[in-house]
Amino acid sequence: MAKIKDNKTITTRAKIIQNATIDSLKQLNPFVMIKNPIMFVVEICFIIMIFLTIDPNVFGLSELNKTSNLIITIFLFLTLFFANFAENLAKQIGKAQVESLRLIRGDIEVKRFKPDGYIEYVFSSQLVRGDLIRVQEGDLIPLDGEIVEGMATVDESAITGESSPVLKEAGSDTASTVTGGTRVLTDSLLIKITSEQGETYLDQMVNIAEGIERHKTPNEISLNVLLTSSTISFLLAIFMLAVLMNYLDIHIEATYLIALLVCLIPTTIGGLFTPITISGFEKANALNVLAISKKSIESSGDINILFLDKTGTLTHGNRMAIEFIPVGDNSLNEIARIAYLASIFDHTPEGKSILTLAKRHGINIDHKSIKGIPHEFSAHTRMSGIDLESGKSLRKGSPEAIIKYVQTKNGTIWPETNQIVEHIAKEGSTPLLIAKNNEIIGVIHLKDLIKSNMKGKFKELSTLGIETVMCTGDTNTTARAIAAELGIYDFISQAKPEDKIHLIREYQNKGMMVAMIGDGTNDAPALAQADIGLAMNNGTVAAKEAANMIDLDSDPTKIINIVKIGRQLLTTRGAITTFSIINDITKYFALLPTIFPIAGIERLNFMHLEPGYPAILSAIIFNTLIIPAMTPIALKGINIKDLSPNRLLERNLIIFGIGGIIAPFVGMKVINLLLGGIF
């Protein structure tokens, strides 16, 4: 089986290379190449060299023969081809992913539960949002959904590229959602469909991959302008140099001027510009993050401040019972039993959590055996309970409601009750009181629990130079307690949607890049206003439509990885641009004393390159080979450490700046020595 898989992988890679090669040749069309001004200039030089190969004397008497010009022409062609190949290789990798995604988007038969409880077999194309379906071992999950019941391992490699299966289960904060196109490996799941046809994560990934010819981001446009301007400047400089040489009646080969121009313009970054950007989107997809906006990945590298919604994003969103606290001479076991009985008819998430906590204390009462008059929880009474046939009256509810209830019966309120209630409130939690007949017997500690993988994670953002602010509608006391538990130093309490927008705009007006993470409808305006809006997949439709990024796993800590991907993209582009420009300038100073017949200039040839044609050919060959040599770096990206953007920029400018000086000298000298025995 492994051998078949390996053969399939080899076949896929061969097809990717084959298609990239064909597309690279097609891209030599001047009307296509003109979209890349730098490589378009190289193509014009290539066309001129074809004429010089046919007739070396086209621009006047030449000492070079057809063979010499042909070799230069071949390497100019290879320069164009390698640049096109790097771009098309990145595109073909994306297209290969699309093809694999198409294969798993077929119309398959699934088991759908009808409202009357019966099961019907329908095709996945007939499913709509809200349908309940059952998937078993070996089944493909047809559309995005939320697990209602069950636990199973799921193969998500078609989406993430990660071969290890993922455990999915109902009720998990980060593992309760499933993606259409993934496959169930073990057990079975009952899934509620949460997407319509054509709107799944898979569909959007396909659309992004197919729309790889995208609009350029502001940073890309700025860099393009810089590179295009420098190319035009160098073109004018070479033209003026030719005019000056002609005026001084100094003969210089047209081939040399063409080679000098090609070596001087930033061909390396010109050929690797697009692959660097495409690789950023591929990394985001591998992270299970859908980048809807064309500039979101790149912009994430410039984030200065991050606003985080609390409820449902950082926490589970529902208060859960975590502790029973007896008061007076009552026992913990008695408190748990009374709390259980008083919560049977409370169908709120809090009520259910009280039953769960009581069961952990060994309380498990058959509901059918309970006889009495139930009192369901309501917003008016703010308590629930039951009047048993035995005459006992059991209640559970807010401190105010229970104290008032007991006081009307002239009951007992133990002195420590208020102290415990105040202590729980100061922690940012919610206290409930339990009453038996006319006595308050205990306190229930409710807390909006922080998701297990959140604590301490956001401290890493400060290392990256990003300020983190938690936004919540809770009181100042609650907000402070939860922020401290999360390791977040700044927070905004009692925040309304308009408050979040105002703050985001305030920071944006200061020239800062703002990110917002949320999941609710009330977060939608802020998500839309922020430069980077990351919505949780288990959030509302409004939040996901307002955001420009969606995290399929609903894990807000992924913003750390997203920032790193953005910075890696920017760092890689900046580093290769630095290398390209310095590399070209270095080649210019290495070539200058070898091709211009000016008395005394040969003293600058400290590398002792063979003058004339061997030196020119050495530079052209090096210029050609450096593009495929740098392509893996462009596709993989530069490894970045948890440094601030300025430190990252400084480090890579030094490394690639020095590399841009050393590489041409060493490379050209080695090539020149090898050519010395030929020419």
**Residues annotated catalytic, as ranges:** 309
Angle (deg, nearest 10), helices 66-103 and 254-264: 30
Place of tokens 């003109």: 34
3-state DSSP assignment of residue 192: strand
| Closest alpha carbon to 496 in 521, 522, 534, 518 | 522
Place of tokens 């086209």: 58
**29 vs 43: CA distance, rounded Å:** 9
Cβ atoms of residues 137 and 187 within 8 Å: yes
The 10 Å Cβ neighbour count of residue 113 is 16
Which two three-digit tokens encode residue 368? 């059918």
Place of tokens 């003058």: 611
| Closest alpha carbon to 398 in 503, 511, 319, 487 | 319
Dump the DSSP string for 383-401: EEEEEETTS-EEEEE-HHH
**362 vs 166: CA distance, rounded Å:** 32
* Cα–Cα distance list, 636 to 160, 563, 572 (Å): 16, 16, 9
User: Taking the mean position of all CA atoms in its chain, how far away is CA 550?
Assistant: 9
The 10 Å Cβ neighbour count of residue 31 is 7
| Residues 6+ away with beta carbon under 8 Å from 120 | 111, 112, 114
**79 vs 60: CA distance, rounded Å:** 26
Give the CA dihedral 309, 565, 275, 159, nearest 10 degrees: -70
* Secondary structure string (H, E, C) spanning 589-625: HHHHHHHCCCCCHHHHCCCCCCCCHHHHHHHHHHHHH
The amino acid present at 483, given as its one-letter code, is A
| C-alpha angle 75-81-86 in degrees, rounded to nearest 5 | 130
